[in-house]
Structure 1
Amino acid sequence: MKIALIGYGKMGKAIEAIAIAKGHEIVARIDKENQDLLNKETLQHADVAIEFTGPETAYNNILKCFEANVPVICGSTGWLEKMPEVTALCLQKNQAFLYASNFSIGVNIFFELNKRLAELMAPQPQYNVTMEEIHHTQKRDAPSGTAISLAEQVLEKVTRKQNWVNNETTAPTELSIISKRIDPAPGTHIINYTSPIDDITITHTAHSREGFASGAVVAAEWIQGRKGVFSMKDVLSL
């Protein structure tokens, strides 16, 4: 498989190492310094593009992949207000697009645990639910995309919470997400249900970026020959 890496920071380099170890070829490494290479001529040599940049560039990068008829795996966060447009364009142009706020296989199983726990706790109003996420200091968005995904899963089931806020709160209808930036933490997500009698906590802790990078390569392998809009749930048959 020939891969174009869009975003060549720590995550891009981790993806490169895993892809090469699995026998894949990196045909383009596109970053801020050589953005002009993000065009049809460059992308036509790739079987898939893996996009890890930031909220200010992700949308346009995805559209350029569609224009080049290249499947795109996207892990950038902070741009999801444009997801409906990307979904519509992908289907209209008969392209292939897979987005995940987190590609870690463990995190995606954690998502399923979170949904099930929220479902069980929904009829138990004596429990207050709060969240915490910890990342390295170079993480630009807060809360993390993974934390937002987890929060939205909770809000769907625990209807006494109406919205999430990125701070401590005493409002009973708000779901508090506390964001901490501590080096070298690659990512920890904690969901707490607390009551006067007891607490229930579930936690996912990443030990390195390898889990995220490995999952992105698995997604790139999986999307070959497919058309449509997908997520890691599709990849992992969850």
Structure 2
Amino acid sequence: MRIALVGYGKMGKIIDEIAQKRGHEVVARLKETPTAENLNNPDVVIEFSLPEVAFENVKACLENNVPVICGTTGWLEKRAEIEKISVENNTAFLYGSNFSLGVNLFFALNEKLADLMKNVDEYSCQLEEIHHIHKKDAPSGTAISIAEGIFKHNSKFDAWKLDETKDNQLGIFAIREDEVPGTHSVFYRSEVDEIEIKHTAFNRNGFALGAVVAAEWIKDKKGNFEMKDVLGL
């Protein structure tokens, strides 16, 4: 496949390496806004940039009828608008808060545990995420996805909030530390014990591989998708 990379930071460079190892041609490596000219006629775009520019980047690609795999978090208040643009331009858009296979299995495990705990009132619940000091958004998109998985099964919660909470809010504690690639934990605590599920990423390679696999999967598809569609979860 011909792959254009929009956003060329640490993740972009790892995706570049993995894509080429899997036999793909990287035809653009952009730090600027994509256009019909600088995209260089790709089959798919993989977008990992910054929250403040992600919407315009994705919009420009979709309006040029190029499917987009997007891993940038922190801009999702505009996701519905992007999905509308995808449909209007008869192309495809896939957003992932995290492209790691392990994290997507963790999402499924989190929902199963939330369903088991929904009627056990002795336990409170909170989330914790730890990332490197360069991460722009807090909480992480992965933590928000975990929270939304809990909301689907547990009516005690209807919103998340950073740090301390009240009423029906689910607390997310966001820690920024050194060069941590990403650690996410869900805690259920009672007066007598604690249940914890946790995912720890050792490096960014799993995220990058997942993004390339998603790009391979989305070719010739139309519509809006998530990583669970790629993995059949």
Report the TM range for the smaller structure's normalisation: over 0.9
Structure 2 CA distance for aligned equivalents of residues 145 and 109 of structure 1? 16
2:125 to 126, 129, 140: 129
In the alignment, which residue of structure 1 is the partner of 2:2?
Answer: 2
Structure 2 CA distance for aligned equivalents of residues 224 and 77 of structure 1? 23
Shift in Å at residue 91 of structure 1? Answer: 1.1
Give ranges in structure 1 of 5+ residues lacking alignment.
none
In the alignment, which residue of structure 2 is the partner of 1:28?
Answer: 28
SS in 2 for 1:56: helix
Give me the CA root mean square deviation. Answer: 1.1
Q: Does 1:175 align with 2:156?
A: no
Q: Does 1:153 align with 2:149?
A: yes
Structure 2 CA distance for aligned equivalents of residues 131 and 63 of structure 1? 32
In the alignment, which residue of structure 1 is the partner of 2:103?
Answer: 107
**Does the aligned pair in 1 maintain the 2:187–2:197 contact within 8 Å?**
yes
**Does the aligned pair in 1 maintain the 2:132–2:176 contact within 8 Å?**
yes
Q: What amino acid sits opposite 1:59 in the alignment?
A: F
TM normalised by structure 1 equals: 0.95
In the alignment, which residue of structure 1 is the partner of 2:15?
Answer: 15
In the TM superposition, 1:55-74 aligns within 5 A as: 55-74=51-70
Spell out, residue by residue over 1:36-85, the C-alpha distance to the aligned partner (whole angstroms, 9 max, x if none): 6x211232521110000111111111111112211110001111111111
Say which is worse superposed, 154-163 or 83-92, in terms of deviation.
154-163
Structure 2 CA distance for aligned equivalents of residues 144 and 74 of structure 1? 15
Q: Does 1:234 align with 2:226?
A: no
Structure 1 CA distance for aligned equivalents of residues 201 and 69 of structure 2? 21
TM normalised by structure 2 equals: 0.97
Structure 1 CA distance for aligned equivalents of residues 89 and 24 of structure 2? 27
Structure 2 CA distance for aligned equivalents of residues 56 and 183 of structure 1? 23
Q: What amino acid sits opposite 1:95 in the alignment?
A: T
Structure 2 CA distance for aligned equivalents of residues 210 and 46 of structure 1? 23
SS in 2 for 1:57: helix
Q: 4+ runs of 1 displaced by more than 4 Å? A: none
In the alignment, which residue of structure 2 is the partner of 1:139?
Answer: 135
Q: What amino acid sits opposite 1:205 in the alignment?
A: T
**Does the aligned pair in 2 maintain the 1:11–1:209 contact within 8 Å?**
yes
Aligned length, in residue pairs: 233
1:119 to 115, 118, 124: 115
Structure 2 CA distance for aligned equivalents of residues 114 and 42 of structure 1? 41
Structure 2 CA distance for aligned equivalents of residues 78 and 181 of structure 1? 16
